[in-house]
Amino acid sequence: MSSQDTWPEILSAKSENKHELNLSGAAVSNKIQEDGLDETLYTLSSLNYLCISHTCLDVLAEGIGNLTNLTNLVLHSNKIWKLPASLGKLINLKMLDLSRNELETIPNEITKLLQLSTLNLASNKLSLFPCMLQNTKLSILDLSGNQFEEFPDICYPDLLHLAEVKLNGNKLKNVPPAVKELSSLKVLDLGDNDLSDVPGEIADINKLKELNLKGNKLSDKRLLKLVDQCRSKQVLDYVRQHCPRSSTGKDAPAAGKGKKSKKGKKEHADNEHLQENAENLCHKLHVNHALESTLSITVEESVKVVRQHIVCCIISDISFVQHTFKKFIQLQTKLHDTVCEKRNAATIATHDMASLCPGNIVYTAYPPSEIKICPLGKAKHVTGSELFAQLQREADELRKEKKRNVYSGIHKYLFLLKGKPVYPCLMNGGHAISLPPITNSDSTKISEKTKDIFVEVTSAASQNVCRRVLDTLLHETLLLGISYSEPPSEGTTLQSAYHTLTVQQVRVIGSDGILKVVYPSRTDLIFEDNSISVIRE
């Protein structure tokens, strides 16, 4: 291929000696369909990061082995069914993402990637996996959504950094007792497999915090009930006490059927009673996974300069009555004053899902004069610049009335946008539905009739701030008891019973098509409040 035929993206990367290259989307896919992937790519030896995603690429050429400086190789959402042995030459590779492809086998040469920390092979057609004994720096392994019938060959004490293993959505028949050798494991996802039992040795992994066994046909009905309705700690306690082990020892609980003392029988009966009724003794927050059909957010590059952080979710099956609706609105106001620090740290906006247009939402930024929105509680549309000027006038009048030199706390957030060439906004169906941190649209506001709420939290500070605010909002909303399954009567005490709340995950995706954040993830909604059980579907 001559320089005239070389793809402009690759030519630019070569001439400018770039260290990162992103080749994604329909336009790239069309070029691959017509002429194949431009092999000049494999001469860009200075690349540290390469992303090829959402294309029709089906075979990765041997030339990939020339890119020996790669530390991150992202190849998700393609049609790749074959990998070259030269992949093993990428000795500096730390992250490899081959999820959502057509892979049936993985070359053994992958075990030569001794610096590999994250390996994502989710949603392929794999049934065999090489021994990973040499990959001692591996910390995250995602093999979910494949066809494994046997547990992968990873149960070695040498894998000191392996903290997260996802094997959900396979055909696993059993889990080897040697899994206890993974001493650093914190997350083990075995959901949606063909497991009938699990070894008691799982509970010997001292650092294990999250164990997912949902979607398996467990023969132990009490364990099955705990798995469906309780948190990982309760499941692990039960596994430790009741699940079979490969051998008995001083550390293993007795598994025989010898006679029990009266005290022992009473304790056993008490434990059984507690386990069977545990689901009725706590508030329940159900988290449903984001599906392909679920609303998602696309973040455009333009918003990064003004307010780049956003986290969202959907609160489902709401049943408001007058006083609970009022309390929910008051809750938002309280959080804006407290954890949101008068909107300076973050801003919450809520929308009625029924009022949103079909399709996804775009988080972007435009010059304020080009944004038109009907502010909350208003009847007509104004531009972003007009709205800002109006709020600034109100702030000045209040400042003069109070004889102060600075704005009151409620207006301090205006400084976050003052003088900015662009304002952040959420667009849905070509219309602005939110202008953080100022207002959201009156056309999508929630009411007593709202059944599902889309919640956005934005911040100029950090994503962790957004997560913390949304964690707090969901915690407090759960305690209000507004689920459709339990609408309280007027005048009842809201805290008189345990409540439920259903939350749908929402994905936030970059303009390059790469997932930026999904909320709530397994690291979210970790409450010290023992009266709340978070049930992740």
The CATH code of the domain at 285-384+421-536 is 3.50.40.10
Listed in order, the ranges of the chain carrying CATH 3.50.40.10 are 285-384+421-536
Check whether 257 has a pLDDT greater than 60: no
Res 76 pLDDT > 90: yes
Q: Is the pLDDT of residue 401 over 80?
A: no
pLDDT at 390 > cutoff 90: no
**Exposure letters 43-66 (e unless 16+ CB within 10 A, then b):** ebeebbbbbbbbbebeebbeebbb
DSSP annotation of 274: H
Higher pLDDT, residue 195 or 523: 195
What's the pLDDT score for residue 282? 79
The closest alpha carbon to 159, from 137, 140, 188, belongs to: 137
Cα angle 450, 456, 458 (rounded to 5 degrees) comes to 155
Alpha carbon distance 116, 138 (integer Å): 6
Band of the pLDDT at 277, cuts 50, 70, 90?
very low
Tell me what pLDDT residue 247 has: 56
Distance separating alpha carbons of residues 116 and 123, to the nearest angstrom: 20
Residue 241: Cβ within 10 Å count: 13
Please determine, for residue 170, whether its predicted confidence score (pLDDT) is greater than 80: yes
Q: Which of 168-182, 232-246, 486-500 has the highest mean pLDDT?
A: 168-182
Q: What is the pLDDT of residue 403?
A: 64
pLDDT value at residue 527: 82
Mean pLDDT of the 523-532 span: 81
| Among 371, 359, 326, residue whose Cα is nearest residue 454 | 359
CATH architecture group of domain 8-245: Alpha-Beta Horseshoe (3.80)
pTM: 0.51
Amino acid, single-letter form, for residue 323: H
Question: Alpha-carbon distance 287 to 294, whole Å?
Answer: 13
Intervals of CATH 3.80.10.10 along the chain: 8-245
- The C-alpha atoms of residue 190 and residue 115 are separated, in whole angstroms, by 26
In whole angstroms, give the CA distance from residue 385 to residue 420: 10
Residues 423-463 have pLDDT tens digits of 999 999 999 999 999 889 999 999 999 999 999 999 998 88
> Distance from CA of residue 222 to its chain's centroid?
30
- Report the distance separating Cα 310 and Cα 339, nearest Å: 16
Higher pLDDT residue, 534 or 497? 534
Q: Average pLDDT of 81-85?
A: 93
Beta bridge partners, 297, equal 361, 508
Q: What stretch of H or E contains 311? A: strand 309-316
Both ends of the chain: CA-CA distance in Å? Answer: 50
pLDDT in tens, 322-381: 999 999 999 999 999 899 988 888 999 999 999 999 888 999 999 999 999 998 888 889
pLDDT of residue 280: 54
Q: How far apart are CA 171 and CA 216, in angstroms?
A: 10
**Residue 315 CB-density burial (10 A; 0-12 exposed, 13-18 middle, 19+ buried):** buried
Closest C-alpha among 436, 446, 326 to residue 377? 446
Q: Are 36 and 63 in contact (CB under 8 A)?
A: no
Q: What is the pLDDT of residue 361?
A: 94
Give, in order, the Cα–Cα distances in Å from 99 to each of 102, 124, 340.
9, 7, 36
Query: Residue 486's pLDDT band (boundaries 50, 70, 90)?
Result: low
User: What is the rounded average pLDDT of the residues 213-222?
Assistant: 92
Q: Is 421 left (phi over 0), alpha (psi -120 to 50) or beta?
A: alpha
Long-range contacts, stretch 367-372, CB < 8 angstroms, 24+ apart? 367/421, 367/422, 367/423, 368/417, 368/420, 368/422, 368/423, 371/423, 371/425, 371/432, 371/435, 372/432
